[in-house]
Amino acid sequence: MPDDTLYEFDRDMSRADVATYLRTVADELDSSGELDFSSDEQSTTIRVPDHVEFEVELERESNDRGSSEISLELEIEWYETRDGSIAGPGSLDAE
C-alpha cells in the first residue's frame, strides 16, 4: 500500500523555535493526544493513541566534499484500521 503524506513541514528555524514547537507537541500529547498541524497550504488534525512505538534516530551522512549532514529524527508510530480507527499495538488489518 503506498504512503499517504498527511502533512509535511520543512523550514529553517532557530534552535529556540524548534524547542518551542516540540514543547507544544509534547504538551498536546500529554493532555488530549490530539495534534493540530497547519501551515499556509495545508492543515490536519490527528489523534495519537495512549500507546505508540517511539523511535529516535541520529544519523551522520558524509559527502564527497568532506562535510557531513547530521539529522535527528523523532518518530511516533501506531496502526490504524481501514476505517481510520486506532488498532492495537502490532495489529494487522486482515482482508
Show the domain range for 48.
15-77
Is residue 19 in some structural domain? yes
Predicted TM-score (pTM) of this structure: 0.77
Q: Kindly state the average pLDDT of the residues 30-52.
A: 92
Grid coordinates representing 65 are 566534499
Is residue 10 in some structural domain? no
Q: At 73, give phi and psi (nearest 5°).
A: -115, 130
Is residue 7 in some structural domain? no
Grid coordinates representing 70 are 547530521
**Hey, is 12 helix, strand or coil?**
coil
Between 66 and 23, the more confident residue is 23
Q: What is the pLDDT of residues 45-89, one digit of tens each?
A: 999 999 999 999 999 999 888 899 999 999 999 998 877 676 665
Q: How many structural domains is the chain composed of?
A: 1
Mean pLDDT of the chain: 88
